[in-house]
Structure 1
C-alpha cells in the first residue's frame, strides 16, 4: 500500500469523526455558556472545568488505545464479554482513574483558590460535584469508547483512527452535560 493510499484511508476514516468532534465541541460550549447560574452559585466551579475535560480525554483515550492495541494483537474479541478479564480490568481501571482524578482536581482547585485568597465553594461541594460528574461521564464515555472501538474494528476501520476524535468529542459533550447535572443535583441537595 502506498503512502498516498494510507493517507487517503486515514482521512476517509477520520474526517467524519473530526466533523462530529467540531459539532460536539460547539455543543459543549453551549452547555458551558448555559451554566451561568451554576457558575455564579458555586465559586470555583469554572476552575475545575478544564481539568475535568482534560482528564476525560486522557483517561478514556488511554482506554480506547488499550482496547485498540488488544484488538490488533488478538488479545480481546471485538465484543463486550463480561467474562473477559482483560476487558473488565481495563474498563474498571478507567472508571476508577476517572473518578479519582476528578476528586483530586476538586481538591487541588480548592487548595489553589484558598491559597490565592479567591472565593471558593466548600471542598465538600466541589468534590461532590467533580466526583459525581466524573462517575456519570465515565459511565457514558466507557459505553461510547468501547462501542466505537469494537464497532469500528468489526466494520474494518482502524480503531486507532477513531479513538482520539471520539474520546475528545464525547469527553467534552458528556463531561459538560454531566457537570451540569452533577452541579444541579448537589445544589438541590443543599450543597454550595
Structure 2
C-alpha cells in the first residue's frame, strides 16, 4: 500500500470522528452558556469546568487506548467482549480513576481559589458536584468507548483512530450535561438539608 492509499484511508477513518468532535464541542459550549445561574450560584465552578473536562479526556482516552491495544494483541475477544473479565476490570478501574480525579480536581480548585482569596463555594458542595458529575459522565463514557471501539473494529476501522475524537466529543458533551445535572441535584439536596436544619 502506497503513501497515497495510507493517507486516504487515514482521512476516511478520521474525518467523520473529527467532524463529530467539532459538533460535540459546540454542543458542550451551548450547555455551558446555559449554565449562567448555576455558575453564579456555585462560586468557583467555572474554574472547575476545564479540569473536569480534561480529566474525562485523559482517563477515558487511556481506557480506550488500552481496549484498542487489547484488541490488536488478541487479549480481548471482539466476539465475546460482553463476558470478558479483563475488559470489565479495566472499565471499573477507569470509572474509579475518573471519579477520584474529579474529587481531586474539586479539592485542588477549592484550595487554589481559597489561597488567592477568591470567592469559592464550600468544599463539600464542590466535591459533591464533582463526584456526581464524575460518576454519571464516567458511566456514560465507559459505555460509549467500549461500544464505539468494538463497533468500529468489527467494521474494519482502526480503533486507535476513533478513540481520541470520540472520547473528546462525548467527554465534552456528557461532561457538561452531567455537570449541569450534578450542580442542580447537589444544590437541591443542599437546600433540603439546609432547610431541614
Q: TM exceeds 0.5?
A: yes
Note the aligned Cα RMSD (angstroms): 1.2
1:111–1:87: structure 2 CA closer, same or farther, 3 Å change rule?
same
The aligned residue for residue 154 of structure 2 is 154
**Per-residue deviation, 1:32:** 0.2
The aligned residue for residue 180 of structure 2 is 180
3-state DSSP of counterpart to 1:189: helix
1:79–1:116: structure 2 CA closer, same or farther, 3 Å change rule?
farther
The aligned residue for residue 106 of structure 1 is 106
How many pairs are equivalent?
192
Q: Tell me if the contact between 1:113 and 1:120 (Cα under 8 Å) persists in the aligned partners.
A: yes
**Per-residue deviation, 1:27:** 0.2
The aligned residue for residue 129 of structure 2 is 129
**Matched residues in 1 for 2:80 and 2:114: separation?**
45
Segments of 4+ moved more than 4 angstroms: none
**Per-residue deviation, 1:3:** 1.6
**Matched residues in 1 for 2:6 and 2:160: separation?**
14
**Per-residue deviation, 1:85:** 2.2
The aligned residue for residue 167 of structure 2 is 167
**Per-residue deviation, 1:86:** 1.2
Q: Tell me if the contact between 1:79 and 1:150 (Cα under 8 Å) persists in the aligned partners.
A: no
**Matched residues in 1 for 2:98 and 2:37: separation?**
26
Unaligned runs of at least 5 residues, structure 2? none
The aligned residue for residue 97 of structure 1 is 97
**Per-residue deviation, 1:116:** 0.3
**Matched residues in 1 for 2:9 and 2:145: separation?**
21
Give CA-to-partner distance per residue, 1:103-129, whole Å, 9 cap, x none. 000000000011000111000000000
Give the structure-2-normalised TM-score.
Answer: 0.95
**Matched residues in 2 for 1:83 and 1:32: separation?**
38
**Matched residues in 1 for 2:79 and 2:32: separation?**
35
